[in-house]
Amino acid sequence: MKIFLDDRLVDESEAKVSVYDHGFLYGDGVYETMRSYDTVFFRLDEHLGRLERSASLIRMQIPDRKFIAGAVHETIRANRLSGAYVRVTLARGKGPIGLDPALCKTPTLVIIAEPFHPYPEQFYQDGVFLVISPVIRNHVRAINPMIKSLNFLNNILAKADAKDRGAYEAIMLNAEGYITEGTVCNIFFVKDDSIFTPSVDAGILDGITREVVIRLARGSGLSVHEGLYSPADILGATEVFFTNTTAEVMPVSKIDDMTYAVGSISKRLRELYQAEVAKYVSLFRDGQKEVD
């Protein structure tokens, strides 16, 4: 595989980052993951905009958006990929040991592209098992979840707990006991034909797939509410699903001991989302500009 490192493509065996890089030493950095469909990256401009926001919130100067977009496309072309999973990582860079960001003069850019392997269709037919984690989501005044940070230990501990309990994913609560998000996804639930999802005030990353699904739901006449919700709210739902870049719209069949049907709203939103992707891919494959 070819990896884009800083300003050029290199073989995977040559893609080396210094042990003095503060991304390695302290988890000091940001990242984005995105998915390409037939060489077109869905919502590329939004992903790179969020990367810029994350970098700004940790006071990191990063390369121009158009440069990164070009490097992303160069990486999938070099690896002869069409449907791909791509991760763009920006670490603080090499510098002396110490916490001061000024010790690092230039950030490290790494772009990894891998073939995208679809989730088993059985997951979408039957749903997946989630648990409510005892691991509390980072407080917004500690590490703001709006920063897509390399410091991921909070999520890793919740994921490990879920795995120990035989679950696919974990739902994390905030310090006040309200639902936030999964370790890598946004959470939705359905009651009385209305859709509910935690708002950014709960302490979540404002997912790009989340935003698209909310818009599509409202555009199709569904009522969508964003707010603060307790575990009791979701455990009393009729449907639950989650969203992220790779899974798109994934139904949930069980949370802790509560079971749910894979309902019509989850199925409908998955279909609407896939139609939106197809329209977007057709538009940008015909030569429209992906990045402003």
**So which residues are the catalytic ones?**
148
54: closest CA among 137, 135, 153, 152? 152
Residue (of 54, 4, 86, 41) closest to 290 by Cα position: 41
- Take residue 82 and report the two structure tokens written for it: 């069409």
Helix (H) or strand (E) holding 267: helix 264-285
Q: Does residue 83 contact residue 38 with C-beta atoms inside 8 Å?
A: yes
Give the phi and the psi of residue 91 in degrees, each rounded to 5. -95, 160
Q: Smallest Cα–Cα separation from 7: which of 52, 51, 63?
A: 63
- Contact present, 146 and 108 (Cβ < 8 Å): no
- Among 252, 255, 244, 192, which residue's Cα sits nearest to residue 222? 192
> Between vectors from CA 210 to CA 239 and to CA 193, what angle results, nearest 5°?
30
